């Protein structure tokens, strides 16, 4: 995922959220925004303690975007 792809994803996710939300993104997503060309992993880590999230709203927005949502651990297929 490139920086542009990540920005497009974040915009799309935001369009599907029904409630005001603040996501504090950590991990490699931040490195991409700072100029690294590509992602090493395909997950987006959110620092829940500092974010303002309605989990049900975020879950439905992720589903609408076609991405998996799993706040408790690893995603398995």
pLDDT digits (tens, 9 = 90+) for 50-66: 889 898 999 999 999 98
Least Cα distance to 29 among 10, 57, 50, 15 occurs for 10
Do 77 and 42 meet the contact criterion of CB atoms below 8 Å apart?
no
Residue 17 CA neighbour count, 13 Å, CB half: 16
pTM of the model: 0.70
CA–CA dist 54, 19 (Å, integer): 7
pLDDT grade, residue 26 (50/70/90)? Answer: confident
Better pLDDT: 21 or 2? 21
Question: Is residue 76 pLDDT above 60, yes or no?
Answer: no
């Amino acid at each position: 995922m490139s920086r542009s792809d990540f920005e497009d994803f974040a915009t799309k996710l935001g369009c599907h959220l029904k409630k005001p939300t603040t996501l504090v993104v950590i991990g490699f997503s931040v490195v991409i925004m700072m100029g690294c060309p590509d992602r090493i992993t395909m997950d987006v880590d959110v620092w829940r303690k500092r974010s303002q999230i309605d989990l049900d709203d975020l879950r439905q927005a992720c589903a609408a975007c076609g991405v998996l949502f799993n706040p408790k651990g690893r995603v398995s297929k």
